[in-house]
Amino acid sequence: MIAEAGLAALWLAAGLAALQFVLMVLALRSPIDVCRAMRGVAVVQGALTLISFAMLLIVFARSDMSVALVFENSHSAKPFIYKVAGTWGNHEGSMLLWVTVLSVAGAFFALLSKRAGERTAIAALGAQAALALGFYAFLLIASNPFARLFPAPPDGRGLNPLLQDPGLAFHPPTLYLGYVGLSVAFSLAVGALLTGEVDAKLARAMRPWVLGAWLLLTLGITAGSYWAYYELGWGGYWFWDPVENASLMPWLAATALLHSINVLAARGALKAWTMMLAVIAFSMSMVGTFLVRSGVLTSVHAFAIDPERGTFLLALLGIYVGAAFVLFAVRGATLREGASFELVSRETGLVINNLLLSVILGIVFLGTLYPLFVEAVSGEKLSVGAPYFNAVAGPLALILTVLVGVGPLLSWRRERRSRLKTLTIPALIGATALAITVILWPGMNILPRLGLMVAAYLLVAGTLPLVARNPLRAPLATWGMVVAHLGIAVALAGMAANAAFTSERLAVISPGESLTLGPWTVQLETVEPAAGPNYTAIEGKLRATRGSGLTMLRPQTRYFSDPPTETNEAAIETFWNGQLYTVIGKADTAGGWQVRLWWKPFVTLIWTGGALIAFGGALALVGRAWRSRRRTSGGWRKERYA
């Protein structure tokens, strides 16, 4: 009955979403007070989807093979954490998680939407219900996660072994929280366009949702990058894979939106642009969901191959995004912009920031979808890879990073006194870094060389907003901005160092033989069989020495029977100045083994920088929440259900 209870909760939630949407239509057509009722309906709807998802978690945890989804994606011998993770490691479960996060976000918005005007809040709750309705219909009509099997099979087919990893147990939910968090910004934009209430109050209501979604997307992308690095055994952290791009595109749009909201909140400007970015940001989330779940992609982590369900998702994408853009086309032109600003001002800096981010987003969007378009039209298969993205987006990203150090030093409206001279020292440090790379590594490629220069510049320039004022009295949001910008510098330094200094060896060697790689000598001692909870493996024992230092590494090639799959498990040793990355491959007929080695100086800075960016976002979120609470202390409870 657990599966039936989950399905019943899903139907009830869908019914409440329909009621919530109808209430919104009635409220906008006539002056009736439905706000309190809509908030209650939204909260119950969120609770019901949580119950439904909890029921799916239980049938996975119990290995209930009478549920088709459990049979297809789990096995009784699987470790418990992967039984649980199997709940969202498949098409139907991930879509239920999607709609659960969407509905719970709507419930929290209903409880906390004190900042938006009442009519805008009503319209936004209606838009959120409309979004949820489409995904309820998708689950109940095309992707029922609770479908039964009669008779129940004795055991399941297992989960994709690539997904049996702690990183993948937490990475998708984090990304989904980010994707769907942008839905609230989308609904607020739709609501504000319907009511015409696009102002600083709306920006302040929208900002915590965008900041929270951006923070979670940052964490999800960083975690996904590290998962790809150590789990896929290919030694890289970003492949420009379409599924990776699917999460990068909403992050780029959310980054632009976050900066645009600040202009709207502070100066009442960029109204139409901010509304369009809110629509684009969530549209990119929808595009990402379509790409990953439609089966149109062939990727290491494309999870569904089902054109019929892909058509359903494409229809939802067309309806929601199309309707939002039509609304924007009709109402966007009627928005009156706020205070004007001069050419040299913080507003101008943020506009340039937005334009560069939008161009980079367009480049990634084009490079991701162009091969699909060509294949659909001509049947010809194309692949757009790293050379295109690095050559086209790389220089723009470097220019954007330079401006990151400039923008926070500018004043609102117009620059009365130049503080740009404080950039002299960062510029000198950047030039020094450039000179060092030219002298010590004359053969280095231009992009990593410029990357190291810009990273050195931003490491100093990023702290200037605190230097210009008393750091102890600076708002937490300012600290968050500074930490996030320093995180960009750290991540950029790691990427540039990885591109410039990584060395690689691939060879077939027999036990007792050695390879040299950079400062390392690596000897293959033995290759022996090994076993895990649900797999067998061959394990290489590698003895790595550098000077007097000794490190033992044990890479594996694993064989899973359910489903039959072979994976490479890299062995990685981390040092203060880099990582030694090793993979064991196939045996040849002469008794030798394929061994692949990488020495990656300072590669860990990539993920350290990602963590710093997310931490900066968290500081800004907490700081703005605390500041808002202090401003409205004593009054917000009265406004809450007004």
User: CA-CA distance, 175 to 168, in Å (whole number)?
Assistant: 11
Distances (CA, A) of 37 to 23, 102, 219, 642: 8, 19, 35, 12
- Residue 468, pLDDT above cutoff 70: yes
User: CA-CA distance, 44 to 252, in Å (whole number)?
Assistant: 33
What is residue 635's predicted lDDT score, i.e. its pLDDT? 46
Q: What is the pLDDT of residues 340-354, one digit of tens each?
A: 778 888 889 999 999
Q: Position of tokens 């990885």?
A: 498
Joined tokens for residue 251: 């992050």
**Residue type for position 36:** R
Beta bridge partners of 524: 542
- Residue 636, pLDDT above cutoff 70: no
Residue 299 or 130, more confident: 130
Joined tokens for residue 153: 């099979």
User: Quick one: average pLDDT of 379-398?
Assistant: 88
Q: What is the pLDDT of residues 585-611, one digit of tens each?
A: 989 888 899 999 999 999 999 999 999
- Residue 299, pLDDT above cutoff 60: no
Report the share of the chain in percent with pLDDT over 70.
94
User: CA-CA distance, 382 to 403, in Å (whole number)?
Assistant: 35
Mean pLDDT of the chain: 89
pLDDT band at 300 (very low <50, low <70, confident <90, very high): very low
Pairing of strands 514-517, 520-531: antiparallel
User: Quick one: average pLDDT of 59-81?
Assistant: 90
Q: Position of tokens 């969530």?
A: 282
Q: State the burial class of residue 440 (Cβ atoms within 10 Å of its Cβ: 0-12, 13-18, 19+).
A: exposed
What is residue 306's predicted lDDT score, i.e. its pLDDT? 62
CA angle 265, 271, 272 (to 5 degrees): 155
pTM of the model as a whole: 0.92
Joined tokens for residue 620: 């800004």
Joined tokens for residue 495: 């990427």
Residue 88 or 460, more confident: 460
User: CA-CA distance, 562 to 175, in Å (whole number)?
Assistant: 27
Q: Nearest Cα to 190, choosing from 127, 133, 268?
A: 127
SS3 (DSSP) at 159: coil
User: CA-CA distance, 7 to 16, in Å (whole number)?
Assistant: 14
Q: What is the pLDDT of residues 14-26, one digit of tens each?
A: 999 999 999 999 9
Distances (CA, A) of 587 to 77, 231, 493, 532: 29, 21, 37, 21
User: CA-CA distance, 293 to 296, in Å (whole number)?
Assistant: 8
- Residue 461, pLDDT above cutoff 60: yes
What is residue 248's predicted lDDT score, i.e. its pLDDT? 95
- Residue 297, pLDDT above cutoff 70: no
- Residue 460, pLDDT above cutoff 50: yes
User: CA-CA distance, 63 to 68, in Å (whole number)?
Assistant: 11
Which conformational region is residue 634 in: left (phi greater than 0), alpha (psi within -120 to 50 degrees), or beta?
A: left
Distances (CA, A) of 224 to 170, 228, 246, 513: 9, 6, 12, 35
Cβ atoms of 571 and 541 within 8 Å: the answer is: no
Distances (CA, A) of 395 to 344, 358, 474, 485, 568: 23, 14, 33, 18, 34
What is residue 294's predicted lDDT score, i.e. its pLDDT? 67
Of the candidate ranges 58-67, 153-162, 183-192, the one whose mean pLDDT is the lowest: 153-162
User: Quick one: average pLDDT of 316-331?
Assistant: 91
CA angle 76, 79, 82 (to 5 degrees): 95
Q: What is the DSSP string of 123-146?
A: HHHHHHHHHHHHHHHIIIII--TT
SS3 (DSSP) at 581: strand
User: CA-CA distance, 551 to 538, in Å (whole number)?
Assistant: 20
- Residue 527, pLDDT above cutoff 70: yes
Q: State the burial class of residue 181 (Cβ atoms within 10 Å of its Cβ: 0-12, 13-18, 19+).
A: buried
Q: Nearest Cα to 422, choosing from 440, 410, 436, 438?
A: 410
Q: What is the pLDDT of residues 84-123, one digit of tens each?
A: 888 988 889 989 999 999 999 999 999 887 777 888 999 9
- Residue 373, pLDDT above cutoff 90: no
Distances (CA, A) of 489 to 251, 280, 468, 613: 18, 27, 20, 10
Q: Position of tokens 């860990």?
A: 604
Q: Nearest Cα to 239, choosing from 135, 140, 119, 367?
A: 367
Q: Nearest Cα to 207, choosing from 273, 263, 250?
A: 263
pLDDT band at 546 (very low <50, low <70, confident <90, very high): very high
Q: What are phi and psi of 203, to 5 degrees?
A: -60, -40
User: CA-CA distance, 367 to 245, in Å (whole number)?
Assistant: 9
- Residue 642, pLDDT above cutoff 50: no
Q: Position of tokens 């968090």?
A: 181
What is residue 259's predicted lDDT score, i.e. its pLDDT? 94
What is residue 525's predicted lDDT score, i.e. its pLDDT? 95
pLDDT band at 633 (very low <50, low <70, confident <90, very high): low
User: CA-CA distance, 134 to 342, in Å (whole number)?
Assistant: 44
Beta bridge partners of 509: 593
Q: State the burial class of residue 467 (Cβ atoms within 10 Å of its Cβ: 0-12, 13-18, 19+).
A: exposed
pLDDT band at 637 (very low <50, low <70, confident <90, very high): very low
Cβ atoms of 598 and 581 within 8 Å: the answer is: yes
Beta bridge partners of 600: 579
What is residue 83's predicted lDDT score, i.e. its pLDDT? 86
User: Quick one: average pLDDT of 479-490?
Assistant: 96
Residue 64 or 382, more confident: 64
Q: Which DSSP letter does residue 101 get?
A: H
Residue 154 or 278, more confident: 278
User: Quick one: average pLDDT of 527-550?
Assistant: 90
Q: What is the DSSP string of 417-438?
A: S--GGGGHHHHHHHHHHHHHHH
User: CA-CA distance, 261 to 277, in Å (whole number)?
Assistant: 10
Residue 534 or 458, more confident: 458
What is residue 561's predicted lDDT score, i.e. its pLDDT? 79
